[in-house]
Structure 1
């Protein structure tokens, strides 16, 4: 077997094969035997059908099977022998006719990882945001928690105010005619929530219980119901009841409802969580800046197959997150394709970063010790709340284990790079614009 390898670009190779007659005849004979063993042809027993008859009935299938066998056997063997880091399926771009007694040749193109020799990765100047604790954040969070425990109770006030929950009967008319979905009884609405047509809630402020009012609004352009979009409407509204939120006091009893002993302990827990969250954000942005600098110093062309894989991962990730919130991409007016178009540049940058980190790991001879794997598995078990044995079982599969090792290697490379960088702490107001973020595989 003769193989010629051409470098079409930094990320694409063409492999040209020429297979001798003996190999071609052997593949055709094996295809004949395999199909002939089960072929059903009237007048012949299975396994006894002559070749000429098989070719008449099963010629295309035999040829395709022989062709697949030849290409699979030779292509993947060539990748191994020549150490070609393929990242895509082969694309056969040219082939000769397949026939017994004739040399067979074909050409296949494949995307590969680019050859990369990282440079200029020491002494990178980076800005890191200086963490400043703001007690107002904790005050706001406590207020949110308090509001979350608030109960809606009847109000003694007779006129509605912004923030009240009002119970109303209403019926809407467009051009004097009622429209579908425009009527309700006993509907509860929070004034100021913005959940109704713009202008509707504002006109209910000041209404007294038991009174009626005509409310004039205009449906916004692009409204969900195209028949109502942009049209003026009149709603006849009657105020039936006023309710208000009654929130619990912020005291030790409130803290005990969260399983803590005192309000001070609750504040400490919130501060601890806030500090951890902010430190993760700041560290993440620092790493993004580092990757941006690395890519600028080591421009690298990326295989389209890896970009496509990263985009598929990102779509799956966002769909899973949205599903947990009872939402979907479609509810946000997006599809898989539109999401991929929007985040393609992010995916390209992430693939570039992964390729550079991978090359750096080879150059710096970074290895993973067994103790580091155990530590990572324990960390995953702690964060997920899953039993350690269950986590170990999950990561025992080849693909999962390979992914875990890759994570550990990338983290070790990042720590190495950060240690080689010149990092300046700066106030948030003086910080350069944060780099674009995205979900990384």
Structure 2
């Protein structure tokens, strides 16, 4: 929280249009708060903390400050408070006292008055004087109100679920390729799909360049592992043959010195390996599965494809229903919510890059863009996601939905099963990271989406 001190004295007027509330916390702290709704999803809270509680904050501040300052005639940490204040002024304790007591008072006020902030507040201290109440204002952006359109009985077009024989055959062919054997060739020419074991060296302007040389490198032709033209240039080459490939690096190549540059690769094919596919029959079924016959394997594939198709159909229906409900609803989303989601998406994207062994800095250099450019690309999707969540939240509120302890426990148990850890351990991890509320919110949104889907009307596509 950012604190701003002011000499202005603003008193709470019970007769104005705002509401006056009194809050008592667990320690008996007396907080008086007025709440004013402003434009652009902002709320202003004026909060008053009684003098007794302010004094507690001053005493706590004294215990901190006295260890940091030296007063002649006293050991550090032993200066009486009155002498410390007389020498440096009572104001020496104010900033720390505010930091000690304002956050709790703010949390009490927003909880009591159902204010849902989406950012840290801007704090303006209005009155701060020993022996008097501490008064401060908090200006904060809050979740926007959603005006729901029609959300029950939404009509959506759905496609029938079917699994064709060619779908089953395609799956069998995929399995056939996955279980192919590599046969070393003693003669013949390289074809697309072969694995060529090669020695190669690249030259630019007659000189070899870093990273352009390899020995006994296995390369599957058609895998697009090398730059365009390299793999194609080896088709028709025989074992033991050396060829010159005159190629050009792509304009967007990640090594700037090579991007768009013409080069020569000298390549020797030392060995060729070709995939050998087993015939798709009963023996194949026995080798690749627990089934005895091809018909049994086909039936299992058909069931799995049908299950996947039904899940895809349900997901498509869910997306169509929610999209219609979101489109019919109105909400003015604060930019801070979109920015926050963009940052989250950027962090997740960076994590995926690191998993592939690429840093964010390397990715930005390869794609010749700045982090600002990348953020801008995420904004439309972030806005879509935030609006969907806000609308689903509004549906849940309109229908009086909540998340029971049983539902939360079930979700945690499912997470525990996925991670193969005890449920109580997963719960402790979530609690330590402050993620229980987010998990509960996620369950609520799923319930709201399910409600919309269950009440929707299907129209044959």
TM-score, length basis structure 1: 0.80
Deviation at 1:299, TM superposition (A): 0.9
What pairs up with 1:16-415 in 2 under 5 angstroms? 16-17=46-47, 27-36=57-66, 41=71, 43-45=73-75, 46-53=77-84, 62-92=93-123, 94-96=124-126, 98-100=128-130, 104-116=134-146, 118-262=148-292, 263-315=294-346, 317-318=348-349, 333=364, 340-368=375-403, 372=407, 376=411, 384=418, 386=420, 390-391=422-423, 393-395=425-427, 401-415=436-450
2:448 and 2:263 mapped to 1: Cα distance? 62
| CA deviation after TM superposition for structure 1 residue 119, in Å | 4.1
Deviation of 1:153 (Å): 2.6
Deviation readout 1:66-89 (Å, 9 max, x if unpaired)? 222342243223223333233432
Change (3 A) 1:158 1:356: closer
Tell me if structure 1 keeps the 8 A contact 2:148–2:330: no
The Cα shift of 1:13 comes to 0.3
Change in 2 beyond 3 A, CA 1:58/1:265: farther
Q: Note the alpha carbon deviations across 1:112-141, whole angstroms, 9 max, x for none.
A: 223446342123222223323233333333
* Structure 1 pair 329–143 and aligned structure 2 pair: CA distance change class (3 A): farther
Q: Deviations over 1:403-422 (max 9, x none)?
A: 45444433333333223322
Q: Distance in 1 between matches of 2:68 and 2:215?
A: 72
- Cα distance in 2 for residues equivalent to 1:402 and 1:103: 34
Alpha-carbon separation, structure 1, partners of 2:415 and 2:101: 45
Runs of 5+ consecutive residues of structure 2 not aligned to the other structure: 1-10, 13-32
Q: For the Cα contact (< 8 Å) 1:171–1:182, is it kept in 2?
A: yes
* Distance in 2 of aligned mates of 1:325 and 1:181: 19
Q: Distance in 2 between matches of 1:186 and 1:289?
A: 52
Q: Select between 242-251 and 402-411 the one with higher mean Cα deviation.
A: 402-411
Cα gap change, 1:173 to 1:410, in 2 (>3 Å): closer
1:420 aligns to 2:451 (yes or no): no
Secondary structure at the counterpart of residue 38 of structure 2: strand
> Aligned in 2, Cα 1:53/1:370: closer, same or farther, shift over 3 Å?
closer
Show structure 1 runs of 5+ residues with no match: 427-441
Q: Does structure 2 retain, via aligned residues, the 8 Å contact 1:10–1:115? A: no
Partner of 2:27: none
CA contact (8 A) 1:39 1:47 kept: no
Q: Let me know the Cα RMSD of the aligned residues.
A: 3.6
Tell me the distance in 1 between the aligned counterparts of 2:98 and 2:410.
Answer: 49
Q: Is the 8 A contact 1:315 1:336 kept in 2?
A: no
Distance 1:86 1:154, change over 3 A: same
| 1:380–1:266 CA distance, 2 compared to 1 (3 A) | farther
- 1:218-276 deviation digits (Å, cap 9, x = unpaired): 22223233222222222333332222122344344444455512343433333333323
> How far did 1:283 drift?
1.8
What is the alpha-carbon distance in structure 1 between the residues aligned to residue 131 and residue 395 of structure 2? 50
Deviation at 1:49, TM superposition (A): 3.4
Contact 1:25 1:100 in 2 (8 A): yes
TM-score, normalised on structure 2? Answer: 0.77
Instruction: Please state how far the C-alpha of 1:10 moved relative to its aligned partner.
Output: 5.5
* More displaced stretch, 254-263 vs 125-134: 254-263
Change (3 A) 1:159 1:343: same
Following superposition, the deviation at residue 155 of structure 1 comes to 0.9
